[in-house]
Amino acid sequence: MLVPLVPVLQEAREEGRGVGAFNVIHLEHAEALVGAAQDAGLPVVLQISENTVRWHGSLAPLAAATRVLAEQVSVPVVLHLDHAVSRDLVSEALDLGFTSVMFDGSTLPDGDNREQTREVVTECHAMGVSVEAELGEIGGKDGVHAPGVRTDPADAAAFVGDTGVDALAVAVGSSHAMTTRDAALDLDLIAAIRDAVPVPLVLHGSSGVPDEGLVAGVRAGMTKVNIATHLQSVFTGAARERLDADPGLVDTRKYLGPGREAMREETGRLLRLLADARA
């Protein structure tokens, strides 16, 4: 069932659980993620990024298919526009029935980021849609949150107060697009930000964080945990194994199917790991 982000994160935060948020790039991803959530009996956030929209050339087809899948299952599913920098794309997502938006004004001057984020919050809240944002860029991109830079708890609290966002992505040691799982989170900083900020915290770049780090991060105060590259690796690994086993294979279903199933299994494992992370 399709639901907004806020109640899912608020309940998880109160119970000390983590919620998995995973990227949808094509239909097989959406099928794997929704199936995993149903298998686990746990909520899930399905994320379509602006980069993916550019790759497909439009938002509506993938969004429509993902929404149908979300509406067919009994567990809570959030349809989330991820890392949107285009205000027009945000408006389109609202028209298409998205229940959550991550507006990424992190490359803007601080004042412009706050102003535009506040405007997005007003637009989205008028339609009952949740908003996530971030102060500056998470590691792995150029910007104030390059590796080694960290979110200041006081700045985070002020940003939430200035903008009215429902969830905040913070820089605490993770980095986007990592293919190794050896990132170390700053657990003391996570706890400090949790105590300073009244809304759930979001961990971007979580593919680079090992299982024990994810659990520790949730226990320290993270709630929404974004994982994309790791699941891409799982999907691609299974597809490559199938292709290597049969060099003459041409039916795409016969290698996309194993990729989808491997992704479903790993997603279910991650959903349970995060949900069971409470101290």
Give 240's contacts (C-beta < 8 A, 6+ positions apart).
none
Strand partners, 103: 84
Residue 57 per-residue DSSP state: T
- CA-CA-CA-CA torsion sign (197, 202, 205, 211): positive
Number of domains the chain contains: 1
Specify the residue for token string 């780090």: 213
- How far apart are the C-alpha atoms of 146 and 160, rounded to whole Å? 21
Q: Which domain holds residue 16?
A: 5-275
Catalytic residues: 82
61-97: per-residue pLDDT in tens? Answer: 999 999 999 999 999 999 999 999 999 999 999 999 9
pLDDT of residue 148: 66
Q: What mean pLDDT do residues 39-54 have?
A: 98
Strand partners, 82: 49
pLDDT of residue 140: 43
In this prediction the pTM is 0.92
pLDDT of residue 206: 80
pLDDT of residue 104: 92
pLDDT of residue 139: 44
Task: Tell which residue, 150, 130, 264, 161, has the closest CA to residue 203.
Answer: 150
Tokens of 71: 């509406």
Q: What mean pLDDT do residues 174-196 have?
A: 76
CATH no. for residue 190? 3.20.20.70
pLDDT of residue 96: 98
Q: pLDDT confidence of 144, banded at 50, 70, 90?
A: very low
Q: pLDDT confidence of 141, banded at 50, 70, 90?
A: very low
- pLDDT of 201 > 50? The answer is yes
Task: Tell which residue, 198, 200, 270, has the closest CA to residue 233.
Answer: 270
224-272: per-residue pLDDT in tens? Answer: 999 999 999 999 999 999 999 999 999 999 999 999 999 999 999 999 9
- pLDDT of 182 > 60? The answer is no
pLDDT of residue 146: 54
As a whole number of angstroms, the longest Cα–Cα distance in the chain is 59
CA 27 to chain CA centroid, nearest Å: 17
Q: pLDDT confidence of 137, banded at 50, 70, 90?
A: low
The answer to whether 88 and 123 have CB atoms below 8 angstroms apart is no
The separation between the first and the last C-alpha atoms of the chain, rounded to the nearest angstrom, is 29
